[in-house]
């Protein structure tokens, strides 16, 4: 009887899960390091772009038909020549690079406008290069960057008005700030024939209630009125979205009395997601509206190894009910039922189902890299080959290691859940002392774990190393592998807030031998990006140190959801 009861409860639970999957979607809609989302619609197709900072290719572009299932279709910056000049992703600093893009479609052309942030260590100055790229197909190819000279600041928006004029909406620090961190939103017309700003510059708004870090503007037009939406408060717990409106594009802009329209300021620091903001609005064909915004999950010490991710929220417009006001403005109300980002939200289109499978696999048989793979900066020529050995990725052990502003033989894909399993099969015969190859988890140049085979004292060893900010790199464990026969399968698992590292000398079926463990918070995202799981090879300063061949990788993320599934 007990067994039958347990089976019945399990059946009801699974039935409820299926029902939930059919009627709600799970946030985030883009798990993993996908911050600063911007979205546009072309008919029944939706396109979304995110910041990519120091990673290459840059500006990932996703496509969806239903706003909850997204496919990575390409990158705005996908050629080395786009990123090796004024837009420099070759030796850009960590958390530099591509910030806060906006994607828009107009008269058959897609536009992405964004900023490259590059710190010049010789001059001790930061260059902010604002530029536009265009494409007829959002999957690419995209044009060379059209740099907009004399455009100060960051986070540009491009706005196409009904009268044919095109406008640049930017962020800068005003000449005479009232307090540290004050930002100001400015406006100027763009000449798209000559790719330059033209006409008078207008200064629109410094934010609501004197908020710090007014930035990330987006301009919209609805029922003849202009709406200026911005982020404020920085990108941590005080992050928030503010909005103002005007009858004229140059203002003056009137702030919404109910600002902010999205924030987690009023919630506990222990809320499941925090720091929500840097958002973009979208109108559906039927007149409904939605918002995409970034947020940070609180899975690890009120933070996340995945960094800032993309979330979806419903929006409805409401007219002010105050009869005594001379003008009764209409304002967007975000998540009108609860006022916050929910883990489970009704699907935008009835009858659609979210396919929330956080899996990734690559057996390197296609002859080209899966688009999920990224490099930290533009890779050095000859870093890898898919032709040297059919069905394998060959990664060359260049002298470079993972270091500040460097380009090592390293590639990875985004960690998408706090709990996961990652495996990779490698064939590698080290040819010189110190030559190493294996797998990695990387947050930044100074925060990463490598799990690798290395030659030391003419023996083959397995070692686990940990680099943390402002600390000397630590050798967590090292041991000889007497039975090593050139092929090894690595396995990394994240469970119960810790990473476990194991390996197999007999293939994917194991057995896997435990090697070491580390707390998961040793790679906690504290910058603009999240963790990447990947492959790594190095000669540790020596050239001509050989190569490693990777046969396959697989990854499976695990949701921490069972206790949170709604019981409708």
| Residues designated catalytic | 36, 215
What pLDDT, on the 0 to 100 scale, is given for residue 562?
46
Closest alpha carbon to 155 in 116, 201, 195: 116
Q: Domains of the chain, with CATH numbers?
A: 31-346 (2.115.10.20), 359-558 (2.60.120.200)
What pLDDT, on the 0 to 100 scale, is given for residue 22?
55
What pLDDT, on the 0 to 100 scale, is given for residue 458?
86
What pLDDT, on the 0 to 100 scale, is given for residue 356?
83
Q: How far apart are CA 165 and CA 152, in angstroms?
A: 21
E-strand stretches of 43-144: 45-49, 55-56, 58-64, 71-77, 97-106, 109-120, 125-135
The secondary structure of residue 314, as a DSSP letter, is E
The secondary structure of residue 145, as a DSSP letter, is P
Q: How far apart are CA 215 and CA 264, in angstroms?
A: 18
What pLDDT, on the 0 to 100 scale, is given for residue 251?
96
Closest alpha carbon to 75 in 369, 381, 308, 391: 369
Q: Which residues contact 106 (CB under 8 A, 6 or more apart)?
A: 160, 166
What pLDDT, on the 0 to 100 scale, is given for residue 568?
39
Per-residue pLDDT tens listing for the chain (568 residues) = 333 333 333 333 333 344 344 599 999 999 999 999 999 999 999 999 999 999 999 999 999 999 999 999 999 999 999 999 999 999 999 999 999 999 999 999 999 999 999 999 999 999 999 999 999 999 999 999 999 999 999 999 999 999 999 999 999 999 889 899 999 999 999 999 999 999 999 999 999 866 799 999 999 999 999 999 999 999 999 999 999 999 999 999 999 999 999 999 999 999 999 999 999 999 999 999 999 999 999 999 999 999 999 999 999 999 988 878 878 899 999 999 999 999 999 999 999 999 988 899 999 999 899 999 999 999 999 999 999 999 999 999 999 999 999 999 999 999 999 999 999 999 999 989 999 999 999 999 999 999 999 999 889 999 999 999 999 999 999 999 989 999 999 999 999 999 999 999 999 999 999 999 999 999 999 999 999 999 999 999 988 779 999 999 999 999 886 444 444 3
Which residue reads 């506990």 in tokens? 268
Closest alpha carbon to 393 in 534, 553, 550, 552: 550
What pLDDT, on the 0 to 100 scale, is given for residue 560?
80
């Amino acid at each position: 009887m007990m067994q039958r009861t347990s089976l019945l409860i399990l059946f009801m639970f699974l039935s409820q899960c299926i029902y939930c999957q059919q009627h709600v979607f799970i946030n985030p809609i883009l798990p993993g390091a996908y911050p600063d989302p911007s979205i546009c619609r072309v008919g029944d197709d939706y396109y979304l772009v995110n910041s990519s900072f120091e990673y290459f290719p840059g500006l990932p572009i996703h496509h969806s038909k239903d706003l909850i299932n997204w496919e990575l279709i390409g990158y705005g910056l996908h050629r080395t020549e786009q990123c090796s000049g004024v837009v420099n992703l070759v030796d850009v600093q960590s958390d530099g690079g591509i910030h806060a893009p906006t994607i828009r479609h107009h008269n058959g052309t897609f536009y992405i406008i964004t900023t490259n942030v590059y710190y010049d260590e010789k001059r001790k100055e930061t260059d902010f290069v604002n530029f536009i790229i265009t494409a007829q197909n959002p999957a690419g190819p995209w044009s060379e960057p059209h740099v907009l000279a004399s455009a100060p600041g960051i986070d540009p928006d491009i706005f196409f008005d009904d009268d044919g004029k095109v406008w640049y909406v930017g962020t800068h620090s005003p000449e005479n700030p009232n307090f540290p961190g004050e930002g100001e939103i400015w406006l100027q017309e763009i000449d798209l024939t000559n790719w330059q700003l033209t006409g008078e510059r207008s200064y629109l708004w410094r934010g609501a209630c004197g908020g710090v870090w007014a930035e990330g503007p987006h301009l919209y037009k609805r029922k003849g009125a202009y709406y200026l939406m911005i982020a404020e408060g920085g990108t941590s717990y005080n992050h928030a979205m503010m909005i103002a409106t005007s009858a004229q594009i140059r203002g003056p802009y009137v702030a919404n009395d109910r600002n902010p329209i999205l924030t987690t300021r009023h919630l506990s620091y222990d809320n499941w997601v925090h720091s929500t903001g840097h958002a973009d609005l979208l109108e559906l064909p039927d007149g409904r509206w939605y918002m995409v915004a970034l947020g940070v999950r609180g899975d690890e010490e009120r933070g996340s190894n995945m960094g800032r991710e993309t979330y979806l929220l419903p929006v409805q417009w409401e007219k002010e009910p105050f009869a005594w006001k001379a003008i009764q403005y209409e304002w967007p109300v975000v998540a009108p039922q609860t006022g916050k980002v929910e883990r489970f939200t009704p699907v935008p289109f009835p009858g659609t189902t979210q396919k929330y499978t956080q899996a990734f696999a690559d057996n390197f048989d296609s002859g080209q890299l899966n688009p999920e793979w990224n490099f930290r900066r533009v890779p050095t020529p000859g870093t890898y080959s898919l032709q040297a050995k059919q069905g394998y990725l060959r990664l060359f052990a260049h002298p470079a290691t993972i270091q500040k502003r460097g380009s090592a033989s390293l590639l990875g894909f985004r960690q998408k859940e706090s709990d996961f399993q990652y495996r990779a099969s490698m064939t590698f015969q080290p040819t010189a002392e110190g030559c190493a190859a294996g797998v990695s988890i990387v947050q930044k140049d100074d925060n990463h774990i490598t799990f690798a085979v290395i030659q030391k004292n003419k023996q083959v060893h397995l070692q686990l190393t940990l680099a943390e900010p402002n600390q000397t790199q630590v050798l967590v464990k090292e041991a000889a592998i007497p039975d090593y026969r050139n092929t090894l399968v690595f396995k990394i698992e994240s469970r119960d807030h810790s990473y476990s590292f194991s390996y197999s000398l007999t293939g994917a079926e194991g057995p896997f031998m435990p090697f070491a463990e580390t707390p998961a918070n040793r790679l906690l995202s504290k910058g603009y990006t999240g963790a990447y799981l990947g492959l790594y090879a190095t000669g540790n300063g020596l050239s001509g140190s050989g190569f490693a061949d990777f046969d396959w990788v697989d990854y499976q993320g695990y949701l921490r959801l069972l206790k949170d599934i709604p019981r409708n």
